[in-house]
Amino acid sequence: MGWMTDLDIDPHVDAGCRAADDKLRGLEAYLRASGEAEAPPMRGDLLAQIVLSEIRRDRPADG
Amino acid sequence: MGTRGGSERVQLTQRTRSTPGRFAPAPSRPLGHRVPPPAPAAARRPAVPDGVVPLVVAAQAGCSASFERLYRMLAGQVASYLRWHRATDPDGLTNDVFAQVHRNLGRFEGDEQGFRSWLFTIAHHRMIDDRRRVSREIPLQGDGGVDESRACGDVEEDAFAAMSRHEVEHLLAVLSPDQREVVLLRIVADLPVDEVARLMHKREGAVKALQHRALASLRRHLARTEPEPAR
């Protein structure tokens, strides 16, 4: 939880603040987990672009 | 980003298309030696490497499978970053981002951090373009965020149990646009402060201050809205 390590947590916080910090940690974990979600489908035009690029590079130069 | 130097940076421009041994003389075989049948096409293809830097090098050399793996490794983070920013079509924009990465990949030099930073710089610009196209502030509500059915792992399960997507959207809406940008780049894109500063055209101190204010705002908001414990 690297982001939360920047928090200056007061050791004398009351229960309400501790709950808020727990929620903040939950927010960080949720956001981080959202980035680990599956990649969206690759669109056909992007796929075609990278495949065509590979074909062009592999093709011997004309002449 | 790509053109910056650094002692630990790996030069990614080195091409790996050479085919070792291509012009070496064929080894002599004893008469009657049985030549093994050619391997299937899939087996003859070079193995797709692991890790961002080797994948970038291979993709720069024109290996489409390596670029596809890069996409699978990083597109989820890009889509999530765009989704939390309420982009109109996060999945489509993610494809646009990677199309631009692919077009300019040959000019990239740097390490993994540099590549991630370059990728999210492009995503950031796409997000701003999208906002301009929509030309109005998009409210942080409605569908979007995380497909909760796709999460896995203990940490994620705990996070999902503790929060709902609606709560996360509500909390992000508490932040100013700059604070939200810092939070998303630091957490979702996993970029260090110096890269966030460069991407946002701000000084590192300003980014740290934005992050600190974002945390303070969120904590204040949460402390205010936290229900009283039952007596």
Complex-level ipTM: 0.76
Q: Taking CB atoms and an 8 Å limit, are B91 and A40 in contact across chains?
A: yes
For B13, list phi and psi in degrees, rounded to 5.
-80, -10
**Per-residue pLDDT tens for B114-139?**
999 999 999 999 999 998 888 665 55
Is B14 a residue whose pLDDT tops 80?
Answer: no
Closest residue in B to A29 (Cα) is B159
Q: Taking CB atoms and an 8 Å limit, are A30 and B159 in contact across chains?
A: yes
Report which listed range, A53-62, B4-13, B44-53, B117-126, is most confident. B117-126
Q: Where are the domains of chain A?
A: 4-58
Collect all residues of chain A within an 8 Å Cβ-Cβ radius of residue B190: 32, 35
Report, as an integer, the average pLDDT of B36-65: 75
Report residue B81 CA to chain centroid gap.
Answer: 8
Domain architecture of chain B: domains with CATH: 50-138 (1.10.1740.10)
Report, as an integer, the average pLDDT of B190-209: 95
The more confidently predicted of residues A13 and B224 is B224
Closest residue in B to A27 (Cα) is B168
Tokens of B195: 């890269």
Is A17 a residue whose pLDDT tops 50?
Answer: yes
Collect all residues of chain A within an 8 Å Cβ-Cβ radius of residue B187: 3, 28, 31-32, 35
Report, as an integer, the average pLDDT of A19-38: 86
| CA-atom Rg of chain A in angstroms | 24
B113 to B6, B141, B179, B184: CA distances (angstroms): 11, 32, 22, 16
Q: Is A58 on the interface with B (CB under 8 A)?
A: yes
pLDDT at A10: 52
Closest residue in A to B156 (Cα) is A33
Report, as an integer, the average pLDDT of A33-60: 85
pLDDT at A22: 82
Contacts of A26 (CB under 8 A, 6+ apart): B158, B159, B162, B163
Q: Taking CB atoms and an 8 Å limit, are A37 and B74 in contact across chains?
A: no
The more confidently predicted of residues B21 and A42 is A42
Report, as an integer, the average pLDDT of B151-166: 59
